[in-house]
């Protein structure tokens, strides 16, 4: 019998080819728990027990491409309890589900990460099929989790309101930025103070929840803005109305043809860092977020943020940004004018410095501590 | 003081779309109820601000950006599945519970326990006294009967037309009527017409666009977008709707002096005896296998049988003008009293008292 404590981790999000957003969060947590010598980690992906070495490789590559190889030949996840029983450690096994989980309990203590409940509260922001699949047994998943890790106070509040979860069962594990600041620094050095034509960056996939339409509506009502700045949209075309159909509907064809409104599609982490460094500001018009990582990335990079005031975003931005109502183009315009005035007066420099300090206070070490303490309460992280 | 009213459903909550969303089933009824409530609030001097997604303003700075001030509150006028909170403000949820039985402690997707959500509200506003009784019977406190404010009631005398082209009936059906709603209506009317050929029925369906062709001889389909215009051309409103449900078309007809042919028994507020040509509904006629919710919740939502529709239509057609005027007048007085500003204000004051006592 081993002294190590079994921890079963379902790593569903790590199957993604490129790690951004949620896969990054899971990778950061897994990186750290693999360093814990007192833990005996067992990883599960798509109902299979994945070799730990395979997980290490994918974490190093920040890509799940290698995880799928040979997965079908691996033992099923239900072999883990048998293995733990044989080792005499089943009764103290703990499980962490980093996304979807079975709607029944297996281990002595089980935790689940909840990113946001937009599938419940804002189903119109998602494809109907995804909503049906995600929400089918969500109430049962919540009910049979001993501890729920919400990535923001806003998500915790939604858990309590929708499911009546006692607040003591919810731990708030805020996220952190993983933007490559060294790369951003190299971009800044390359620019070296040379003038860059000002542009505002809109980061996010093109889908209803990300609300790119607000920005298009704003520049349609205030075309003079396009004389001052370009608007650059960076993010993949996900679902719903296409970017082209939205610009057509707003009569922005000439602005697109003239390069005043630019759609770049998907950008990798390297290009994202470069865009953040060069941008005069980030506009983040999302209707609903569980956290709002692009805001933190921009703050860490030193880019002023114009942020939707919705859901979790004020928890990220604090008093270090320019807020607007995601339903009100006039509110966005007012935020833009405040940024412009602060640029003219130089006040923006102080705000950017504060934003950098604030962003640096969000760390994945802190996220990990919350998760570990939630999984192993009252025993100093199990150690 | 501002009342933030949320009544957007589904795709309506997505802004800046090139194409308007398809309306959800039941949408027209809720939109009409919300309009009545907003009119009532405005008539009593309260500022009204519509909010599409109240749940996103959970942070204090968000409420400041949205213009929320101390003393404001939130009124949600949506079906239960679409309820959303306005965190930091007292929530008042409008609930139109149409069933005779109180709701049990069961979930209605996506919420696992709707009663718990309602218990957490500052108040629950019911458009009918019957709904309020049902929710109180389920153990909910702070349930208030807030009748929709419908201007124009109780003024002048109802007029009855001296028809020269037969007796014209109008039926206004909810969105997405199924065979259970439509079949007894059409079948019963056809039976009546077989005995008394001088009858016509216009079935008003929600939505826009050209209506489908006639359903059967003497039964046309029209669009319900212009209810006043439709009522102008009707001698009777034939209503087979559930007796417990809030029915604004029915209230509109009563206030317009168009006599009703409708169930007068059951849990509903309107019409009462003497206020309509009665349409018999017997619980024994409930076919639970046709009512998925009834199977799940043991609820009943009876509809009249075709023979009852036939009998009621024939009884209405045989009324002389004085008889019609007597029924229409009684209905108009009742609806005017129940849906005038004083009745709305009484409910509102009760809600405001709950709002003042609310503590998060």
CATH code, A261: 3.40.50.2000
Q: For chain A, give the number of residues.
A: 383
- In degrees rounded to 5, what are phi and psi of residue A95? -130, 145
Q: Which two tokens stand for residue B69?
A: 């001030």
Q: What is the pLDDT of residue B17?
A: 86
Assess whether A198 and A80 both reside in one domain: no
- In degrees rounded to 5, what are phi and psi of residue B106? -120, 165
Which residue stretches of chain B have pLDDT < 70? 25-26, 100-107, 152-164, 174-181, 207-213, 241-246, 265-268, 282-302
Q: Which residues of B320-342 are buried (b: 16+ CB within 10 A; e: fewer)?
A: eeeebbbbbbbbbebbbebbbbe
Classified as helix, coil or strand, A101 is: coil
Judge: B62–A310 Cβ closer than 8 Å, yes or no. Answer: yes
Smallest Cβ–Cβ distance between B10 and the set A124, A315, A325 belongs to A124
Judge: B58–A121 Cβ closer than 8 Å, yes or no. Answer: no
Q: Lay out the sheet containing B219-223: strands in order across.
A: B219-223, B199-205, B167-172, B236-238, B260-262, B276-278
- Sequential DSSP letters for B53-114: -GGG--SHHHHHHHT--TT-EEEEES-GGG----TTS-EEEE----SSSPP-S--BTTBS-H
Q: Which two tokens stand for residue A270?
A: 């390297």
Judge: A123–B110 Cβ closer than 8 Å, yes or no. Answer: yes
Assess whether A43 and A185 both reside in one domain: no
Assess whether A313 and A227 both reside in one domain: yes
Q: Which residues contact B332 (CB under 8 A, 6 or more apart)?
A: B153, B154, B158, B254, B255, B257
Report chain A residues whose CB lies below 8 A from the CB of B17.
208, 213, 241
Cα B120 to Cα A85: distance, rounded to the nearest angstrom:
44
* Å between B112 CA and nearest CA of chain A: 7
**In what helix (H) or strand (E) does residue B201 lie, and over which residues does it extend?**
strand B199-205
Judge: B107–A311 Cβ closer than 8 Å, yes or no. Answer: no
Smallest Cβ–Cβ distance between A208 and the set B14, B59, B62 belongs to B14
Q: Lay out the sheet containing A261-263: strands in order across.
A: A261-263, A230-234, A199-203, A281-284, A305-308, A322-324
Classified as helix, coil or strand, B259 is: coil
Cα B70 to Cα B92: distance, rounded to the nearest angstrom:
16
- Interface confidence (ipTM) of the complex: 0.95
Assess whether A243 and A158 both reside in one domain: no
Q: What is the pLDDT of residue A69?
A: 85
pTM of the model: 0.91
* Å between B264 CA and nearest CA of chain A: 38
> A-contacting residues of B 96-155, CB under 8 Å?
107, 109-113, 116-117, 120
Cα A261 to Cα A257: distance, rounded to the nearest angstrom:
8
**Domain hosting residue A260, numbered range:** 181-360
Q: What is the pLDDT of residue B232?
A: 85
Assess whether A187 and A306 both reside in one domain: yes
Cα A96 to Cα A65: distance, rounded to the nearest angstrom:
22
Percentages (nearest 5) of helix, strand, coil residues in chain B: 40, 15, 45
Chain B contact for A220, CB < 8 A? no
Find where tokens 């998760």 sit: A371
Q: Which residues contact B356 (CB under 8 A, 6 or more apart)?
A: none
CATH number of the domain encompassing residue A81: 3.40.50
Chain A contact for B54, CB < 8 A? no
Report chain A residues whose CB lies below 8 A from the CB of B23.
none
Enter the DSSP assignment of A103. S
Judge: B59–A314 Cβ closer than 8 Å, yes or no. Answer: yes
Mutate to test the interface with B, among A240, A325, A328, A338 (most CBs of B within 10 A): A325
Which residue stretches of chain A have pLDDT < 50? 381
Q: What is the pLDDT of residue B157?
A: 45
Judge: A309–B110 Cβ closer than 8 Å, yes or no. Answer: no
C-beta of residue A79 within 8 angstroms of C-beta of residue A94: no
Assess whether A237 and A131 both reside in one domain: no
Cα B36 to Cα A45: distance, rounded to the nearest angstrom:
53
Q: Model confidence over B319-358: pLDDT tens digits?
A: 999 999 999 999 999 999 999 999 999 999 999 999 999 9
Judge: B17–A325 Cβ closer than 8 Å, yes or no. Answer: no
**pLDDT, mean over chain B:** 84
How many independent structural domains does chain A possess?
A: 2
Assess whether A106 and A192 both reside in one domain: no
Q: Lay out the sheet containing A5-10: strands in order across.
A: A48-50, A39-45, A5-10, A94-97, A109-114, A147-150, A170-172
Assess whether A194 and A245 both reside in one domain: yes
Cα B146 to Cα B128: distance, rounded to the nearest angstrom:
7
Cα B211 to Cα B180: distance, rounded to the nearest angstrom:
20
Assess whether A201 and A246 both reside in one domain: yes
Q: What is the CA radius of gyration of chain A?
A: 22
Q: What is the pLDDT of residue B354?
A: 98
What is the sign, positive or negative, of the torsion defined by CA atoms of A313, A210, B55, A131? negative
The domains of chain B, with CATH numbers, are 2-149+340-357 (3.40.50), 167-339 (3.40.50.2000)
Assess whether A22 and A72 both reside in one domain: yes
Assess whether A244 and A349 both reside in one domain: yes
Cα A85 to Cα A17: distance, rounded to the nearest angstrom:
34
CA count, 13 A, side-chain hemisphere, A299: 30
Enter the DSSP assignment of A142. H
Assess whether A210 and A346 both reside in one domain: yes
């Amino acid at each position: 019998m081993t002294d190590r404590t079994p921890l079963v981790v379902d790593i569903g999000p790590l199957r993604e080819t490129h790690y951004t957003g949620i896969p990054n969060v899971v990778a950061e947590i897994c990186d750290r728990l693999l360093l814990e010598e007192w833990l005996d980690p067992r990883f599960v992906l798509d109902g299979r027990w994945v070799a730990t070495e395979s997980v290490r490789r994918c974490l190093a590559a920040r890509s799940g491409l290698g995880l799928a190889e040979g997965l079908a030949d691996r033992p099923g996840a239900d072999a883990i309890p048998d293995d733990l029983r044989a080792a005499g450690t089943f009764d103290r096994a703990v499980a962490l589900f980093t996304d979807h989980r079975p709607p029944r309990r297996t281990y002595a203590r089980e935790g689940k990460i909840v990113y946001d409940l937009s599938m419940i509260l804002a189903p119109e922001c998602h494809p109907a099929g995804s909503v049906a699949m995600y929400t089918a047994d969500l109430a049962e998943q919540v009910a049979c989790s001993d501890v729920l890790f919400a990535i923001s106070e806003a998500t915790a509040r939604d858990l309590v309101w929708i499911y009546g979860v006692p607040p003591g069962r919810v731990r708030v594990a805020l996220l952190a930025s993983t933007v490559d600041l060294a790369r951003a620094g190299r971009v800044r050095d390359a620019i070296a103070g040379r003038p860059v034509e000002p542009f505002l960056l809109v980061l996010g996939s093109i889908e209803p929840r990300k609300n790119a339409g607000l920005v298009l509506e704003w520049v349609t009502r205030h075309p003079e803005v396009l004389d001052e700045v370009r608007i650059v949209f960076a993010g993949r075309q996900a679902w719903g109305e296409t970017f082209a159909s939205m610009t057509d509907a707003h009569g922005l064809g000439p602005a697109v043809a003239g390069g005043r409104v630019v759609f770049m599609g998907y950008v990798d982490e390297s290009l994202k860092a470069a865009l953040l460094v060069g941008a005069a500001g980030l506009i983040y018009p999302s209707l609903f977020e569980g956290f709002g990582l692009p805001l933190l990335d921009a703050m860490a990079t030193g880019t002023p943020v114009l942020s939707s005031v919705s859901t979790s975003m004020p928890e990220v931005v604090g008093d270090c940004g320019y807020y607007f109502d995601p339903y009100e183009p006039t509110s966005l315009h007012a935020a833009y004018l405040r940024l412009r005035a602060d640029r003219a007066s130089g006040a923006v420099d102080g705000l950017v410095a504060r934003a950098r300090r604030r962003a640096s206070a969000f760390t994945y070490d802190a996220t990990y501590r919350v998760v570990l303490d939630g999984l192993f309460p009252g025993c100093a992280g199990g150690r | 003081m501002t009342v933030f009213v949320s009544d957007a459903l589904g795709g309506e909550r997505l802004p800046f779309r090139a194409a308007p969303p398809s309306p959800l089933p039941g949408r027209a009824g809720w939109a009409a109820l919300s309009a009545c409530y907003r009119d009532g609030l405005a008539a009593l001097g309260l500022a009204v601000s519509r909010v599409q997604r109240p749940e996103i303003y959970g942070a204090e700075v968000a409420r400041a950006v949205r213009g929320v001030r101390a003393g404001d509150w939130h009124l949600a006028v949506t079906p239960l599945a679409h309820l959303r909170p306005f965190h930091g403000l007292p929530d008042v949820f409008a609930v139109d519970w149409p069933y005779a039985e109180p709701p049990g402690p069961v979930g209605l997707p996506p919420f696992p326990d709707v009663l718990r959500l309602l218990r957490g509200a500052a108040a629950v506003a019911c458009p009918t006294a019957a709904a309020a009784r049902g929710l109180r019977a389920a153990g909910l406190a702070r349930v208030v009967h807030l009748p929709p404010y419908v201007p124009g009631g109780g003024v002048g005398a109802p007029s009855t037309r001296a028809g020269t082209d037969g007796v014209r009936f109008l039926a206004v059906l909810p969105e997405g009527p199924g065979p259970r709603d439509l079949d007894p209506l059409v079948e019963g009317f056809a039976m009546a017409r077989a005995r008394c050929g001088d009858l016509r029925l216009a079935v008003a369906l929600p939505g826009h666009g050209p209506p489908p062709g006639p359903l059967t001889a003497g039964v046309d389909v029209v669009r319900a977008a212009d209810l006043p215009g439709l009522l102008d051309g009707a001698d009777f409103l034939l209503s087979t709707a559930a007796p417990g449900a809030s029915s604004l078309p029915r209230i509109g007809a009563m206030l317009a002096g168009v006599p009703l042919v409708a169930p007068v028994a059951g849990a509903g507020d309107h019409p009462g005896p003497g206020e309509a040509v009665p349409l018999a509904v017997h619980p024994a006629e409930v076919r639970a296998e046709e009512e998925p919710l009834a199977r799940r919740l043991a609820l009943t939502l009876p509809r009249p049988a075709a023979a009852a529709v036939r009998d009621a239509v024939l009884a209405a057609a045989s009324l002389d003008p004085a008889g019609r005027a007597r029924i229409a007048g009684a209905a108009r007085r009742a609806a005017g009293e129940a849906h005038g500003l004083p009745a709305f204000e009484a409910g509102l004051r009760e809600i405001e008292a709950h709002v003042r006592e609310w503590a998060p």
